[in-house]
Amino acid sequence: MARTVQAEPSRPQPAAGRYNAQAVRREERLVTAAVYTFLVLVSLPLAVGYGWLLLNSFSTELAHGVWPSGFTTRHWRFLFEPPSPYYPDLWRTTWNTLWLAVGMTITMVAVSTPTAYVLSRMKFRGRNAFLALTLVLHAFPGITLLIATYYVLRWLGLLNSIPGVFLVKAALMLPLGIWVMKGFYDGISWDVEMSALVDGASRIQTWYKVMLPQVLPGIASISIFSFIYGWSEYIYVITFIQDKNAWTLSSYINAIVGDFRFLDYGLLSATALFYIAPVLLFFIFTQKYLMRVTIGGTKGGS
Amino acid sequence: MSRSQKVALFVLFLPALIITVVFYVIPAVLTAAMSFTDMDFRLRWNFVGFATFARMFEDFLLPRILQNTIVYTFLTLAFFNVGLAVLLALVTSYVPERVGRVFQALWLLPRFTPPIVYGIIWMWILDPTRAGLLNGLLALTGARPVNWMTDYPMATIVVTNGIIGASFGMVIFYSAIKSIPRDYQWAALADGATWPQQVRYITLPLIRWPLLFVTAYQTLSLLTSYEYILIITGGGPYFATTVWSLYAYNMAFGGYFANYEFGYGAALSIVLVILGTVASIVYWRVFRFREMMAEPKIEVM
Amino acid sequence: MARIRLHRLTKSFGTVQAVKGVDLEIEDGELLALLGPSGCGKTTILLMLAGIYRPTSGDIFFDDQRVNDVPPKGRGVGLVFQSYALYPHMTVYDNIAFPLRLRKVSREEMDRRVREVARIAQIEELLQRKPSQLSGGQQQRVALCRALVKEPDLLLLDEPLSNLDARLRIETRTEIKRLQRQLGITTILVTHDQVEAMTMADRVAVMRAGLIEQLSTPIELYERPANLFVASFIGDPPMNLLPMEYRPDGGKPQLVNSHLSVSLPEAARAGLEQSSSNAVVLGVRPEDIRLVPEPVDGMPAGEVFMLEPLGRDTLVDVRVGQQPIRVLVPGGTEIRPGTRVWLQWDWDRQHLFDARTEARLGVNADAGRPAAAG
């Protein structure tokens, strides 16, 4: 903002107040105030909700539901002893969760990346058909296929196993992964690829040595949300995994909710925080890579 | 096609093909097949023709469930997935970019929170005793605690799902708004428009396509969502919040029945798919999506 | 109609200073051009005048009233963008009517003013079309109408001709100038094209790196550029600039470099002595040099290297030693590459600059007058 002294405020002004700053500035300030008020009010519940996880897991009680009355770590004893004998070992469960997340990520990346290349850069009969198929398949939501998937997993012997879950989940997320990666491939100019082919590389070599390095951002994006979704998976885990040794933290907490829901909010919030903390941190640090994928379109008329 | 191309095609494409077929196509076909049987958890089945579908007409719960589904989808779509999403996108693009990104991160959080944890947070907020947030605050005014989930079940599922759903639209609309060429905003400023006027005359008309796309896409998503409803209200009280997809799930795997009635569940799922397809076609026509498909609409920055 | 004054105006974006201190006064009804290469700050000044950018320091006065804090809405400024920025979803009519719509002008009044301005710009038949259905020239006229319909005190044009093809450019620049004269609106034009600036503006401010190098009429810029930058920027084909050393002793003043030497009359000494060192730059325009077949005393000789026929003229590249000097000769010349020629020019058509400070040295007809400041 200019700090110089107002040069000629006392001179008679043509058509008094012709260039009127006041009214317009006031209007602008009003709008800004309204915007911020709205934003804060609407986001407050969210902030409070997540803050509670943190607060309550370390408090003896929350007065009026909000204010912590005392500090305690007793809610965290589940780290050392299970809440009841019928629970599996916490750390094994955590390991399973990690395995699920990683398995999901690897599958997604390993399958989407080459497939998207084929769909983006190669011409073959059935290309359009497959692209359309992926869109159509997306209309078949998980729920519809759940039952039949149970059947298939059982037939494959993959029920009650982590790989069973992450294969299914990855299959369902595949359309998204393929479209995202395809978007990245589409953005690379043809020249680079053509010169590789002219230099004598085979198609696979071209993909591996030339194209792949250029779509690393896409791979990063997919890896991030695959990992997060894998870590957070609920429905497939509780539906397909009954064996306690194969439980993930999702099932673990589900059981805690079932057993302790109205009894021990402290335990509930502590276990929830334990579950959510890794993925939360992961999300915060990788947020800008996630935002790289967008859907454009501003042409209203043309 | 050259040999190297054929090899590449084979090697690179095969994994996707296998996975898609095994875990997508086969289940889809199986589901269709199952709906004509009376399969249960023993996975033994008898072909019963259209009996499962006929059963739907006699199911006294279904009309209520259909109504729930339509009401839920409409309310969540209008108020949150599209309505709130637009508002959030507008305000986060108005404030300085860093502030906007912080708020967007906050609103994206629910989407990336494990569902069970999200459920726990809401269970606490809506707890019918003083220990819960809303009732705890209510106690400050001396009022008696309210059992939010049983007294306002539809509102509960609309709000809880809506807060998650809004972030999808918010991200898409935000990037659409940000890609409006700066010159238009400056021209509007020079023409004398305040920000609300800019929004009404310039911004909103120019994000018409993303708006329509999100509406159509989220309709489908809402029709098939049941995870959070399952966790938070379980479909209750007494089916007040059971939507079609949840009913199908419960029929097959749990809920009040634990019947493992796969056949009926499959049939219900098929109907859902038909519903979804019809909705898609209607949207396609009404919104004239063919015009939009002319240009590639997934851009990467 | 407004008189505009910029006082020590600066604008920084973070650590980058786009405008470093600009003083400028524009008369009511004048058409002034801000001319300079991209990045010199001219568009930034334009946007500050419109109120879209706030000055980092310094003041802007419209008719002696300080308007730094007045947002665009309150300034009465019409702005035409290089891209025209016509709202794609509105018809031409709605585009032009938009500023009036925002001010809640009555329907009849709005209609009258839109049609009036469309008539002046001769686009009445296009009112119901959408921008995507118009040609570049038509779009520009619509953008102009939108700026003019609110009867602004100041009209700002950002590179108005750069998106038009060559022929359209010539028509349009006459159009704009005619319109401006007719309406008498104070206008500021931003461009990187010196032809655009010279042909349209009453005065031109040549800018570089956030500062004004010279503010004069077009002719003045051409005849008396204040420094090396202005000299090389104005004029097409560009001025020949030869780095030389001033030898003051032995009779007449001499300019020498490894390729050629030039003798100057005694009257030039006063100006040359003002230079901070003996390194000077000699500037002479291609159109001011003549090629003669016989030696001329004190003037350089060279060999024709290449010819570029331009139709009406031919640009001849003459090599003096290794130094290329370009000369503009009438079109149907008989000269051929390899011919030996002598160059001749009137010493009062040449320009001399201090090589270190780049400032003009008051020589030839300026002798006795202070050097034109930048």
pLDDT digits (tens, 9 = 90+) for B187-213: 999 898 889 999 999 999 998 888 888
Pair A50, A120 in one domain: no
Given a contact cutoff of 8 angstroms between Cβ atoms, the answer to whether C34 and C54 are in contact is: no
Answer yes or no: is A10 within a domain. Answer: no
How large is the average pLDDT for residues A29-38? 91
Nearest to A300 among B31, B113, B208 (CB): B208
**pLDDT tens string A139-161:** 666 777 887 888 888 888 888 88
Nearest to A19 among C7, C75, C89 (CB): C75
> What count of other Cβ atoms lies within 10 Å of the Cβ of residue C53?
18
Cβ–Cβ pairs < 8 A, chains B and C: 56
Predicted confidence at residue A174, as pLDDT, reads 86
**pLDDT tens string C315-325:** 999 999 888 99
Which chain B residues touch C103 with a CB distance below 8 Å?
Answer: 192
pLDDT-derived band at C37 (thresholds 50, 70, 90) equals very high
Residues 269-288 of chain A whose Cβ lies under 8 A from any Cβ of chain B: 269, 272, 275-276, 279-280, 283-284, 287
Predicted confidence at residue A17, as pLDDT, reads 47
Please give the residue range of the domain that contains residue A272.
Answer: 88-297
Predicted confidence at residue B255, as pLDDT, reads 54
What pTM was computed for the model?
A: 0.79
pLDDT over 80 (residue A6):
no
Distance CA A228, CA B114 (A): 9
Q: Do C74 and A2 touch (CB under 8 A)?
A: no
| B57 compared with C206, residue with greater pLDDT | C206
Predicted confidence at residue B217, as pLDDT, reads 82
Answer yes or no: is A160 within a domain. Answer: yes
**pLDDT tens string A218-227:** 888 888 889 9
Which chain C residues touch B201 with a CB distance below 8 Å?
Answer: 87, 98, 101
Distance from CA of A24 to the nearest CA of C (A): 7
Distance CA C197, CA C216 (A): 12
Answer yes or no: is A17 within a domain. Answer: no
Q: Give this complex's ipTM.
A: 0.77
Pair A269, A175 in one domain: yes
Pair A104, A31 in one domain: no
Q: What three-state secondary structure class fits A109?
A: helix
Structure tokens at A40: 């804060």
Given a contact cutoff of 8 angstroms between Cβ atoms, the answer to whether A122 and B8 are in contact is: yes
Q: Does B71 touch chain C (CB under 8 A)?
A: no
pLDDT-derived band at A186 (thresholds 50, 70, 90) equals confident
Instruction: Report the DSSP beta bridge partners of residue C245.
Output: C256, C279
Pair A192, A235 in one domain: yes
Task: Tell me the backbone φ, ψ of residue C29, rounded to 5 degrees.
Answer: 85, 5
Predicted confidence at residue A73, as pLDDT, reads 78
**pLDDT tens string A39-57:** 999 999 889 888 888 888 8
Pair A138, A218 in one domain: yes
Answer yes or no: is A239 within a domain. Answer: yes
Pair A57, A181 in one domain: no
Distance from CA of C132 to the nearest CA of B (A): 14
Angle at C47 between CA C41 and CA C53, to 5 degrees: 100
Distance CA C283, CA B2 (A): 64
CA–chain centroid gap for B186, Å, is 36
How large is the average pLDDT for residues A164-184? 86
Predicted confidence at residue A63, as pLDDT, reads 61
Q: Which of C149, C143, C168, C17 is nearest to C84 (CA)?
A: C143
- C211-229 burial, b at 16+ Cβ within 10 Å, e below that, comes to ebbbbbebeebbebbbbbb
Pair A187, A116 in one domain: yes
Q: Which of B105, B114, B159 is nearest to B134 (CA)?
A: B159
- Could you tell me which chains touch chain B, where touching means 3 or more CB pairs under 8 A? A, C
pLDDT-derived band at C45 (thresholds 50, 70, 90) equals very high
Look at residues A9, A37, A72 and tell me which one is the last residue of a structural domain. Answer: A72
Which chain B residues touch A143 with a CB distance below 8 Å?
Answer: 224, 226, 245, 248-249, 269, 272
Which ranges of chain A does DSSP label H, i.e. alpha helix? 21-57, 90-121, 127-139, 142-156, 162-186, 190-198, 203-205, 212-214, 216-232, 235-240, 249-260, 265-290
Lowest-pLDDT range, B295-299, C226-230, C243-247, C257-261? B295-299
Answer yes or no: is A159 within a domain. Answer: yes
Which of B179, B180, B189, B191 should we substitute to test contact with C (largest number of C Cβ atoms within 10 Å)?
Answer: B191
Answer yes or no: is A243 within a domain. Answer: yes
**pLDDT tens string B214-225:** 888 888 889 888
pLDDT-derived band at A291 (thresholds 50, 70, 90) equals low
pLDDT-derived band at A296 (thresholds 50, 70, 90) equals very low
Phi-psi region of C338 (alpha: psi -120 to 50; beta: other; left: phi over 0): left
Pair A147, A66 in one domain: no
Q: Which of B221, B228, B104, B241 is nearest to A232 (CA)?
A: B228
Q: Do C66 and A13 touch (CB under 8 A)?
A: no
Predicted confidence at residue A293, as pLDDT, reads 52
Pair A65, A161 in one domain: no
Predicted confidence at residue C25, as pLDDT, reads 94
What CATH number corresponds to the domain at position A205?
1.10.3720.10
Q: Hey, what domains does chain C have and what are their CATH numbers? A: 4-223 (3.40.50.300), 237-354 (2.40.50.140)
Pair A233, A93 in one domain: yes
* Sign of the four-CA dihedral A121, A122, A123, A125: negative
Pair A122, A261 in one domain: yes
| C291 compared with A133, residue with greater pLDDT | C291
Distance from CA of C157 to the nearest CA of B (A): 12
Q: Do C7 and A7 touch (CB under 8 A)?
A: yes
Distance CA B259, CA B253 (A): 7
Residue with tokens 């695959």: A226
How large is the average pLDDT for residues C331-344? 87
Given a contact cutoff of 8 angstroms between Cβ atoms, the answer to whether A283 and A228 are in contact is: yes
Pair A49, A128 in one domain: no
pLDDT over 60 (residue B41):
no
Nearest to C89 among B187, B191, B205 (CB): B205
Q: How many domains does chain A have?
A: 2
pLDDT over 90 (residue B36):
no
Given a contact cutoff of 8 angstroms between Cβ atoms, the answer to whether C7 and C25 are in contact is: no
Distance CA C223, CA C287 (A): 12
Q: Does B298 touch chain C (CB under 8 A)?
A: no
